[in-house]
Every structure is written in structure tokens, then in C-alpha cells.
Amino acid sequence: MAGADWNFHSTDIAGAIRRVTGTTDDPRMIDWRGVRVAHIDTGVRDHPVFGGVTSGTSWVKIASGVNYMEPGDTPIEPPHDQSGTLIDDAMDWISDLSDKGVDGHGTRTLSVLCGDGQYKKGNRKSRVGLLPGLPVVPYRVTDTVLLAQRTVLVNIAKAITHAVDTDCKVISMSLGFPIMRSSAIGKAVDDAYSSGVIVVAAGGQFIDKVTYPGKFSRTIGVGGHTPDRKIWHLGHYSKTMQRFVDVWAPSTDIVRANPGWADDGRLYDDVAGEGTSYGTVHVAAAAALWLRHHGENKLAAHYPKGWQRVEAFRKALRDGSVPLVEPRDRQPVNGTGRLNIDTTQKKKLAPRAALAIRPKAETQIL
């Protein structure tokens, strides 16, 4: 069994944090200097790991977020039908999730990104939350992680636009669907890209198709790997699909907040915890640290066009990745590796001539 904190060690996040603070690997000591992450998901609950969401004392900025499911309310997720147990037929699983939703998904993923908790069970112990103290703006756009409803697609496009307009620097989306028929989302992604906002999105990996919006070339597409550094669900992705993945990040055996803690008394979940939803927030953390390390003034001077900033991060992310533990014939066809936040941060900023603008997301709608 993997150590409960395996994802912290695998990504080498401590060194990246220390480079920002200058002295300590405690992320709570970071002055984020305007770096904010938008978390577009099912919303969030007032779990203790966030330090008082509804009281206004939390770094999760509930008052700055938007609830598109219950307009006028804060983006607090109410309890709803729970689903999501993997079954043999992935398409049946997709239909199940599309109809019923996943209870507490936003709370789980957000706790991995910025929770401030300590998990201990027997000899297993870990910090819960990569970057406690990171300013995050939550959005409630859906009850399901699978984007099959037109109203949800509209919500997501609105949330992306709001995040860009309110100066979020990173957008994290642990949501997706293998078919995308929303030009509004494509346009919103294009606007974010032009504005220099890094949009990180899940690849999916339950089926043999990379999911949108992670499949858009202007987003940072995230695949998942296991504690033994192997691609999670390798058989599900063809070499063609692997081309849409920019990096592979921890996506199994992730300790996270239990959204139902008030009912069963368990603050944390330590079983299952799998999916590129979790890989996505690891990469969002990498993006936030990369932005904070280089600083707004330096990045603006290097990259006068917003898209160049996104592509510079993508290049650092890819160049800073380390090989997966796979045979040569099973390595990703595009040479991508697993996430290493420390080496990503240490890479020198790429010259503008080394960067190329990506095709518009709006033209990639299928």
C-alpha cells in the first residue's frame, strides 16, 4: 500500500514551496501576491479543512464565487444523489453519473488543492491539501462531473468568463465529457487563453477518449498516474489520445476531505480516491506556484501576449516532467512524463520564439 502522502513526494512540491518562501516548505507562509485559482466544479461545503468557508475567515473566497445552479445563493453544494462507483461498462457509468451526479465532488477535489488538514490512521499519516492558504474562488456549475447537459455547459462558459473577468490567474476544472457541442465553452477557453489565464482540465481516462475541455489544445490536459508511477488505466488511452495529455499527475489513492463528515464523523476519505479530477488539482497547484515564483512583472515583460504565458507554463511543465515507470513501448507517444512541480518551477522561462499559438478551441468543437 502506498504511503498516504505519496503524492506530495512524487511531485516534489516541498522544494517548489521553499523556493517561493525562501526558508520553509510550509505553504501557509506564502504571500500569493494576486495569484488566485478558480475552481469550477459542484461547489464546496463548509468543511473544517478550509478554515471557515461561511464565516469569511477562509482562503476559499466563497463571497467571490458564483452559484449557477441555484442563482443568488453562495456556491455551497447541497447534498444530492450520490453516484460514481466504477462498473464494467464505462458508458453505463457515464450515463449513471450524468443523471445522478457525484455528491461532494467539489469539496473532495478542492481539499486536495488547498485544504489544511492532518490525516492519521495507524502508521499512515499525511497532510491533506497541497497548498493551504492559496486563494481560491469556487464556482458551482453542476451536480455531475460529466458534461452532458446543455444548461451545465452554459454554466461552465459563464464561470470561465467570470473567472477571467475577476482576475483569476488559473482555472481548475475536474469535469469533462468525450463530446463537446458548446461553442460557448470553446469561446470562453479562447478568451482565457488570450488573457494569459492557465486553464487546467481533466483528461478523464475512464474510457478510451480524452474528455473536453481537457482535450482542447488551449487547455492544459491532465492524465493520471498511480503511486508506482505507472499510467492509470493504461489500456483506456490509445497513442492517438495520449497526444492530448500534457502531463500525468497523481490520480489514485489520494487522501481528501469527506464531504459527509457531519453525518459519519470521518473528516477524511482514504479509500478509492481515484480519477484525473485529482491529477488536475495537482497541476493547478503547479501553475499557481509557477506564477508566484516568476512574478507578474517578470512574466508580463517576457510575454506581452497572454497566450505566450500559457504556452511558457506548458513548456516548463512538459520539460520539467520526469519519466513514467513504463516499458519503452508503453511510454506516452508525445514524450510527456509525470508531474514534478519542483523541476517545472526551476526551468528557465522559454524564449518567445520557442512558443507557438495553439488552434482556437472554438474551432475544435465536435
pLDDT band at 366; cut points 50, 70, 90: low
The domain tally of the chain equals 1
What is the average per-residue pLDDT within 285-314?
98
Three cell numbers written together for 194 = 488570450
What is the average per-residue pLDDT within 23-45?
97
Distance (Å, rounded) from C-alpha 113 to C-alpha 108? Answer: 9
Query: Would 291 be classed as within a structural domain?
Result: yes
Predicted local confidence at residue 85, as pLDDT: 38
Query: Would 135 be classed as within a structural domain?
Result: yes
Query: Would 1 be classed as within a structural domain?
Result: no
Distance (Å, rounded) from C-alpha 164 to C-alpha 143? Answer: 23
Which of these, 253, 278, 283, 222, lies nearest to 108 by C-alpha position? 278
Distance (Å, rounded) from C-alpha 259 to C-alpha 13? Answer: 25
- CB count, 10 Å around CB of 142? 29
Beta strands in the chain (DSSP E): 37-41, 66-67, 117-121, 124-128, 136-140, 170-173, 198-202, 220-225, 247-250, 256-257, 268-269
Predicted local confidence at residue 158, as pLDDT: 98
pLDDT band at 80; cut points 50, 70, 90: low
pLDDT of 178 strictly over 80 = no
The answer for 334, left when phi > 0, alpha when psi is -120 to 50, beta otherwise, is alpha
At 285, give phi and psi (nearest 5°).
Answer: -65, -40
Residue type, 158: K
Query: Would 328 be classed as within a structural domain?
Result: yes
Question: pTM here?
Answer: 0.93
What is the average per-residue pLDDT within 63-75?
97
Q: How far is CA 364 from CA 2, 72, 198, 213, 361, in A?
A: 39, 33, 18, 10, 5
What is the average per-residue pLDDT within 145-165?
91
Query: Would 144 be classed as within a structural domain?
Result: yes
Three cell numbers written together for 260 = 459527509
Three cell numbers written together for 180 = 463537446
Which of these, 168, 314, 325, 138, lies nearest to 231 by C-alpha position? 325
Q: For position 324, which CATH number holds?
A: 3.40.50.200
Three cell numbers written together for 242 = 495520449
Q: Which domain holds residue 292?
A: 6-364
Contact (CB, 8 A) for 129 and 117: yes
Distance (Å, rounded) from C-alpha 98 to C-alpha 206? Answer: 14
Predicted local confidence at residue 86, as pLDDT: 36
Q: Kindly report the CA angle at 207 between 204 and 209, in degrees rounded to 5? A: 70
Distance (Å, rounded) from C-alpha 56 to C-alpha 39? Answer: 17
Query: Would 232 be classed as within a structural domain?
Result: yes
- Mean of the per-residue pLDDT values for the chain? 89
pLDDT of 300 strictly over 60 = yes
Q: What is the pLDDT of residues 303-325, one digit of tens each?
A: 999 999 999 999 999 999 999 99
Query: Would 332 be classed as within a structural domain?
Result: yes
Query: Would 23 be classed as within a structural domain?
Result: yes
Predicted local confidence at residue 235, as pLDDT: 55
At 141, give phi and psi (nearest 5°).
Answer: -120, -10
